[in-house]
């Protein structure tokens, strides 16, 4: 499906139903909670090396000249490396998170429609998807930066369209990164209040996993992502084939 066909579907589609998606999300979560747990673990495992990368300049300075780290001021030789590394690491983390979330939504489709096939968590770690995800991460960072200039109001609004990026990445391989952004805004603007309410409520419910000695959050965290799957399915429509 190209961008124009997709835009027509979104425009002509019926508004999303909050209660229906809320109910279906819990039903699907019963089928994919293990896959959600694995996705969360993979996210943490892949993020750790990136977080360590940020501290490499600090480690080097600590080994070569420990006295500089005891100073209240940041050593000048740390400022430039940290300034260069921070955006690179941030983009890398956003890209990996986007790819893993897209893979989880793909698995949600398999379980929801009873489609047989391998549950590939690294399915989108391919050249065509990876490059597209990097562009999406750069666009996301740019949008968030612009949102910050509105005293946070813009970021509040951007929660919905940014949350839809993984769905369009997972189910519309023909779209470019810019077309994914535009499609996410189209669907998000049409159903902003419903999608935002679902994200907020499901995110709140997912936080109850903390009550299980904090470990439970690993099992419930992806519950907040399932409404995005149904927002796409009900707002755009899905083919039976797994992308």
Q: What is the pLDDT of residues 205-221, one digit of tens each?
A: 887 766 665 666 778 88
Q: Please name the residues in contact with 84: beta carbons below 8 A apart, sequence gap of 6 or more.
A: none
pLDDT digits (tens, 9 = 90+) for 6-47: 999 999 989 999 999 999 999 999 999 999 999 999 999 999
65, pLDDT greater than 70: no
Mean pLDDT value across residues 97-116? 95
Q: Which residue has the higher pLDDT, 69 or 206?
A: 206
pLDDT value of residue 39: 96
Least confident range of 112-116, 121-125, 192-196, 209-213: 209-213
Mean pLDDT value across residues 135-143? 95
113, pLDDT greater than 80: yes
154, pLDDT greater than 90: no
**Of residues 100, 92, 87, 95, the one with CA closest to residue 50:** 92
How far CA 36 is from CA of 138, 203, 221, in Å, comes to 26, 14, 8
Cα 137–chain centre separation = 10
pLDDT value of residue 73: 67
- Rounded CA-CA distance 235/35 in Å is 24
pLDDT value of residue 169: 96
Contact yes or no for 188/165 (Cβ under 8 A): no
Burial class of residue 82 in the structure, from the number of CB atoms within 10 Å of its CB (0-12 exposed, 13-18 middle, 19+ buried): middle
b/e per residue, 174-203, with b = 16+ CB within 10 A? ebebebbbbbbbbbbeebeebbbbbbeebe
How far CA 87 is from CA of 31, 60, 84, 97, 151, in Å, comes to 37, 20, 7, 15, 21
- Rounded CA-CA distance 134/124 in Å is 12
pTM of the predicted protein model: 0.90
- Rounded CA-CA distance 47/93 in Å is 6
Tokens, residue 182? 């535009």
Residue 130, SS3 per DSSP = helix
């Amino acid at each position: 499906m190209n961008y124009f066909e997709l835009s027509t579907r979104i425009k002509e589609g019926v508004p999303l139903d909050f209660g229906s998606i809320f109910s279906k999300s819990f039903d699907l979560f019963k089928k994919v909670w293990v896959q959600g747990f694995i996705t969360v673990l993979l996210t943490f495992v892949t993020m750790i090396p990136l977080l360590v990368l940020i501290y490499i300049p600090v480690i080097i300075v600590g080994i070569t000249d420990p006295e500089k780290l005891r100073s209240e001021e940041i050593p000048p030789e740390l400022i430039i490396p940290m300034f260069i590394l921070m955006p690179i690491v941030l983009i890398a983390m956003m890209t990996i998170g986007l790819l893993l979330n897209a893979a989880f939504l793909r698995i949600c489709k398999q379980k929801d429609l009873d489609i047989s096939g391998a549950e590939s968590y690294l399915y989108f770690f391919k050249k065509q998807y990876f490059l597209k995800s990097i562009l999406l991460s750069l666009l996301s960072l740019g949008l968030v930066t612009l949102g910050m200039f509105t005293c946070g109001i813009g970021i509040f609004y951007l929660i919905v369209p940014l949350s839809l990026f993984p769905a369009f990445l997972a189910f519309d391989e023909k779209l470019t990164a810019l077309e994914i952004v535009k499609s996410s805004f189209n669907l998000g603007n049409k159903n902003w209040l419903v999608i935002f309410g679902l994200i907020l409520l499901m995110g709140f419910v997912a936080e109850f996993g903390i009550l299980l000695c904090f470990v439970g959050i690993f099992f419930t965290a992806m519950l907040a992502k399932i409404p995005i799957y149904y927002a796409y399915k009900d707002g755009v429509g899905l083919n039976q084939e797994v992308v």
